[in-house]
Structure 1
Amino acid sequence: MSVLILEDGIHIVADDVRRTCPALSILAAPNAASAVPLARDAEILVALAHDVSDELVAAMPRLRYVCSLTAGVDHLHSLKALQPDVRITSGRGIHGPQMSELAFLYMISLSRDFSAMQANQRAHVWQRWPQKLLLGKTAVLVGIGPIAEEMAARCKAFGMTVIGISDARASAPGFDRLMPRAQLQEAAHLADFLIVLVPLSERTRHMIDDGVLSAMKRGGVVINLARGPVVDEKALIKRLQDGTLGGAGLDVFEEEPPPDQSPLWDMPNVIITPRIGGMSDVFSKQILPIVTHNLTCFAEGRAADMINIVR
């Protein structure tokens, strides 16, 4: 059975899969363009979901299984060339550490105005001001899953109050309180930090709208680690400009990268990162057990034993 691994911007090495799955024929390509010529005979595709294109899928007439390295697979559902009988699994469950650390980078940097400290350093200016702590602040996590649970534990270690938004859960470890989506505005009113983790769907598109943003504590911070369209970007910009919000940490956008004319680029209280939330220097060690388990199960005809099955 032939497997095509797309190694575009990730640290998973095809040799690791070859070593752990010797019965499989492993092909590797550094990017989607170079993958197309290798794709014809491959039955399995291993890739970050957002790197999979209709062009690549169309070049794989024997494709039976997409092993996504990302937790979110909404992009795969939008591909017209991907047949409905193609199995999909996700990388769900491994991204908690890196997503949590990025959230804390945003929270601490924006709370302490770290960009001003850096500017002062470059200008050789010695200036001090009172420093805001995370201690005693409230984080509202929108969407409860493995990432949110890891993040909640870290928030509690910093002495924060943690509220979760979910219709599917009545309780979760590390959370002081869970509230249904219908009470999102009420929860936003309590939020020093509103952290968006929910998957993108028609139901969650612009879930964080002007009503939610306007309900937040004055000076509150929005952090989007989910998908760009979950947040109404125009409303976000408006509330950053009028001072309702104190800042934003954004790893995803409605258009990626944001257009040059987007005001977000030049706002001193906004941190923009280029969709790196799921990346880490140990990604291959994190994802390899899931990949090798699922490849082995699929190759041996044990599809029922696969994990993180999407369909």
Structure 2
Amino acid sequence: MKVLVFGEGVDLALEDLAAAAPGYDYVLATDEAATLREAAEAEIIIGLAHVIPGRVLAAAPRLRWIQALTTGTDQLEALPELRPEVVVTAMRGIQGPQMAELTFLLMLSLLRDIRGTLERQAARIWDRRPQKLLHGRTVTILGVGSIAEHLAERCRLFGMRVIGVSAGRQEAPHFDRILPREVLADAAAQADFLVVLVPFSATTRHIVDAGVLAAMRPDAFLVNIARGAVVDEAALLACLAERRIAGAGLDVFAVEPLPADNPLWGLPNVIITPHVGGVSDIYMQQALPALVANLRGWQAEGQAGLRNLTRAAAVGA
């Protein structure tokens, strides 16, 4: 069974994969012509969801399963070349440490005005100021999944109050309260930090809209490490420019890479990171156990043996 592996953006050694999950013919995607030839025989594709092109899917008539090495698969599943009979699985939960650490980087940088501190350092200005603490502050986390649980645990260790907002869960470890999405604006009004972790879907597009932003306090911050489209970027831009909230830490955007002429770049109350929330220097060490479990599960039971299914094969396909 041929497995076409896209190595772009990941440090995945085929020999390690073959040793842990034997019984497959692993082939690395290289130049486009060779990749398209290999795709003709591939039954499985492994890679970051956003680097798997539609032309490869179109050239893979035997394809049955795609293992995305990312949490989000919306870009992949939106490709018209993805046939109904192809199963898609994702990586879930392994990015908890790096997503939580980025959130803390952004929260602390915003709260303590790290941009101003670095500007004063560059100007050689010694200016001691009162330092604001995370301790005692409230974080509202929109989206209560495994990554949110990682973040909530760490927030509690910092002495923060943690509120979750979820469409389905009513309780989860490390949360003080979980509220339904219908009262998102009320939950946002309680927050010193509104952290967006909800997956992108038709129901979550612009879930953080002008109304939610208006409910936030003037001294509150927004942190988006989910998907750009879950926040109404135009409404956020106006809100930040008019200082109706204190600032934002943004890792994701409606258009990526963020265009050089986007006004968000120039706002002094915004910290921008280039969609690095799920990235780590040990990513494949984190991903390999889940990847191997799915490869073994596919051998044993097909779709029924897969974990973290985001798209099942269509009935009758």
Q: Give TM-score, length-normalised by structure 1.
A: 0.96
Superposed, 1:32-47 pairs within 5 Å as 35-47=35-47
Question: For residues 242 and 113 of structure 2, what CA distance do their matches in structure 1 show?
Answer: 18
TM-superposed deviation, 1:35: 3.6
Question: For residues 98 and 4 of structure 2, what CA distance do their matches in structure 1 show?
Answer: 26
Between 1:1-10 and 1:151-160, the stretch displaced more is 1-10
Contact 1:48 1:70 in 2 (8 A): yes
TM-superposed deviation, 1:77: 2.1
Question: For residues 32 and 132 of structure 2, what CA distance do their matches in structure 1 show?
Answer: 45
Aligned residue for 2:153, secondary structure, equals: helix
Q: Which residue number in structure 1 is paired with residue 151 of structure 2? A: 151
Structure 1: runs of 5 or more not aligned: none
Q: Which residue number in structure 2 is paired with residue 259 of structure 1? A: 259
Question: For residues 73 and 308 of structure 1, what CA distance do their matches in structure 2 show?
Answer: 11
Question: For residues 29 and 120 of structure 1, what CA distance do their matches in structure 2 show?
Answer: 48
Structure 2: runs of 5 or more not aligned: 313-317
How much identity, in percent, do the aligned residues show?
Answer: 46
Q: Give 1:204's aligned amino acid.
A: T
Between 1:35-44 and 1:208-217, the stretch displaced more is 35-44
Identify if the C-alpha distance between structure 1 residues 93 and 34 changes in structure 2 by more than 3 Å, giving closer, same or farther: farther
Contact 1:10 1:279 in 2 (8 A): no
Superposed, 1:48-197 pairs within 5 Å as 48-197=48-197
Contact 2:63 2:86 in 1 (8 A): yes
Aligned residue for 1:245, secondary structure, equals: coil
Aligned residue for 2:185, secondary structure, equals: helix
Q: Which residue number in structure 1 is paired with residue 202 of structure 2? A: 202
Give the number of aligned pairs. Answer: 311
Q: Which residue number in structure 2 is paired with residue 216 of structure 1? A: 216
Contact 2:9 2:48 in 1 (8 A): no
Aligned residue for 1:287, secondary structure, equals: helix
Identify if the C-alpha distance between structure 1 residues 34 and 184 changes in structure 2 by more than 3 Å, giving closer, same or farther: farther
Contact 1:13 1:284 in 2 (8 A): no
Q: Give 1:213's aligned amino acid.
A: L
Identify if the C-alpha distance between structure 1 residues 264 and 34 changes in structure 2 by more than 3 Å, giving closer, same or farther: farther
Contact 1:6 1:32 in 2 (8 A): no
Superposed, 1:264-283 pairs within 5 Å as 264-283=264-283
Q: Which residue number in structure 1 is paired with residue 244 of structure 2? A: 244
Q: Give 1:185's aligned amino acid.
A: A
Q: Give TM-score, length-normalised by structure 2.
A: 0.94
Contact 1:11 1:281 in 2 (8 A): no
Q: Give 1:99's aligned amino acid.
A: M
Question: For residues 33 and 125 of structure 1, what CA distance do their matches in structure 2 show?
Answer: 57
Question: For residues 163 and 31 of structure 1, what CA distance do their matches in structure 2 show?
Answer: 48
Q: Give 2:42's aligned amino acid.
A: A
Question: For residues 179 and 163 of structure 1, what CA distance do their matches in structure 2 show?
Answer: 7
TM-superposed deviation, 1:132: 0.8
TM-superposed deviation, 1:33: 8.1
